[in-house]
Structure 1
């Protein structure tokens, strides 16, 4: 037990150190490379120099959005996998990402909004509505057979995701201008995000992260099975509802701000659990740090891979897919 506690402390310390390095690298690397000294000077002693302008006006908002989105998607993945008891569950399975996408499409097509800071609210609203609908349908379908609710949640979420995606592309096929705007957002990127976008999604991300930590014990109990969790005194229905709210808040805000970036919610929980164990309090806290590290690393790599900029959504797939394959092979080796 003491050894595990020390390892957890070491993992958190190392993760925080890596996050600090990733943040400094994100602020320093770009079309105009800066030294760490120039970055620190711009942050703590800002002036009218070109370096300070680049850091404060362009790279700092982008980095903050990446931290929020990475933490939100990673924690949403942890909660989703606990709710469905499915190690391959991803926040997008719940239909929340498609709900956010539909909200953005409505904002662009119906209301003619062109600014991300304007339609981010539509994305968050669409995600919350989709998450609520999915949860209510799953609970209704599982009534009287509570033990099937993890499977029901996954199936309802997948069906809702497919349905909403069909509606999205149905709307886009009738409006070429909306499609042009949407296709740049749907790739997933933190480039060009301003501080107002970060401030708009910050309350939703914070509420979702805090609520996830609050229900951590309940998530541990759900992994033991419905009957045993109930016998231990946990109100499983309330835990599931709170978990669904967490997934909707975090995924909705993250997707609305940066588009549907994949692999973070799927890969990070598998990377974290072997390091800190299955206690969700530690898994959640570590994931809050590891998610931003992965997204920042992918974003930085995207700036260096090509002459232009590779969107973070593509970069996370390039980084996350090999990582996930390695984790699966490692799990098989350990099992064997």
Structure 2
């Protein structure tokens, strides 16, 4: 009887995962609707809804189609990229606290973009490429840190090392702002994190890189799950850990670089999204990645909606709201006294 119950439990798990995915997708649809209907401006939710149906005043049409629509699309892509990147980093380092913003990956990308802005870069494709190079350098430093004896195996110490790197890069970014007042205003607005007022041309310049990142994830998901059993076990199953780490690093750089180019450095998104996904999917990275697809965009768009409403008629920077959401999650994980098994 016990084996039969175990088999039934295993058989029911995919259905539970599918149910969770559908619920997350439904919540995401609600957040998307809220993003289109609510804002800090004078357009009411009723007028915005009428504009979605083809009616309503002209200013509501403009706000929904030219401002909130592109903002919502950019938020969807940003949340997707950061959620998947966080799950990949945590699985690769076997550290549930690993997150692009905490480990310096986003800071490396942000510093690279600030440097490009200082030298007058305005082309969206160039900015995206520079952001990805900065993220790649940040990923390389993360991998190097995990190889340091006693550091990679201690999640809290690894986060402290990442915070040190992030602080250094932030200080360097501040120095760049002192060098050029014209660039300083643009850099200051950008590093706070925001998806407001971003053109769709910027989104189109990041989509090819994100598509490549998603393709790499599809390639490494199964080998990455095997690596959770240990590198020797993965080699025994015919996988190559070094090659897998390289592909993951490339995918994280593409995803984080694209997200940073779109919204600036947003911290904690890559921590919160996999944490929620693992709570329902368990330690299997493949199931976690599937759940990150709807949860990531929902977290970013939900935070963006809050940023519009908390201080209306003004708006809080999106990066501030994601920090307010993510900091308690980080403290909860650390204070729990145990780390989830990865």
Q: Which residue of 1 aligns with 2:276?
A: 271
| TM-fit CA distance, 1:214 | 2.2
Q: Which residue of 1 aligns with 2:132?
A: 128
1:56 lines up with 2:65 in the alignment: yes
| TM-fit CA distance, 1:138 | 7.5
Asked if the contact 1:77–1:269 (Cα under 8 Å) also holds between the matched residues in 2, the reply is: yes
Structure 2 stretches lacking a partner, 5+ long:
1-9
| TM-fit CA distance, 1:132 | 4.2
- Of 89, 106, 112, which residue of structure 2 is paired with 1:97? 106
- Of 16, 41, 53, which residue of structure 1 is paired with 2:53? 41
Quote the Cα distance in structure 2 between the aligned partners of 1:226 and 1:55: 50
Gap change, CA 1:325 and 1:2, over 3 Å in 2: farther
Asked if the contact 1:230–1:236 (Cα under 8 Å) also holds between the matched residues in 2, the reply is: yes
1:211 lines up with 2:222 in the alignment: no
| TM-fit CA distance, 1:109 | 1.5
3-state DSSP of counterpart to 1:309: coil
Quote the Cα distance in structure 2 between the aligned partners of 1:285 and 1:106: 35
Cα deviation 1:21-40 (Å, max 9, x = unaligned): 11111000012123374253
Asked if the contact 1:101–1:123 (Cα under 8 Å) also holds between the matched residues in 2, the reply is: no
- Of 3, 6, 11, which residue of structure 1 is paired with 2:20? 11
Quote the Cα distance in structure 1 between the aligned partners of 2:141 and 2:49: 54
1:27 lines up with 2:33 in the alignment: no
Q: Which residue of 2 aligns with 1:320?
A: 326
Quote the Cα distance in structure 1 between the aligned partners of 2:335 and 2:144: 38
1:76 lines up with 2:115 in the alignment: no
Q: Which residue of 1 aligns with 2:308?
A: 303
3-state DSSP of counterpart to 2:117: helix
Quote the Cα distance in structure 1 between the aligned partners of 2:325 and 2:139: 32
1:283 lines up with 2:292 in the alignment: no
Quote the Cα distance in structure 2 between the aligned partners of 1:245 and 1:304: 37
Quote the Cα distance in structure 2 between the aligned partners of 1:150 and 1:125: 29
| TM-fit CA distance, 1:77 | 0.2
**Stretch of structure 1 that moved more, 96-105 or 176-185:** 96-105
Structure 1 stretches lacking a partner, 5+ long:
none
| TM-fit CA distance, 1:91 | 1.3
3-state DSSP of counterpart to 2:53: helix
**Stretch of structure 1 that moved more, 180-189 or 209-218:** 209-218
Gap change, CA 1:181 and 1:127, over 3 Å in 2: closer
Gap change, CA 1:63 and 1:81, over 3 Å in 2: same
Quote the Cα distance in structure 2 between the aligned partners of 1:173 and 1:291: 35
Cα deviation 1:81-116 (Å, max 9, x = unaligned): 1111111001135543233222322232222x4xxx
Quote the Cα distance in structure 2 between the aligned partners of 1:241 and 1:135: 10
Quote the Cα distance in structure 1 between the aligned partners of 2:31 and 2:238: 42
Gap change, CA 1:165 and 1:61, over 3 Å in 2: same
Quote the Cα distance in structure 1 between the aligned partners of 2:18 and 2:37: 29
Asked if the contact 1:146–1:226 (Cα under 8 Å) also holds between the matched residues in 2, the reply is: no
Asked if the contact 1:271–1:327 (Cα under 8 Å) also holds between the matched residues in 2, the reply is: no
Quote the Cα distance in structure 2 between the aligned partners of 1:103 and 1:134: 10
Q: Which residue of 2 aligns with 1:259?
A: 264
TM-score (norm 2): 0.83
Quote the Cα distance in structure 1 between the aligned partners of 2:340 and 2:97: 18
1:198-237 equivalences in 2 (<5 Å): 198-237=203-242
| TM-fit CA distance, 1:220 | 1.2
**Stretch of structure 1 that moved more, 176-185 or 159-168:** 159-168
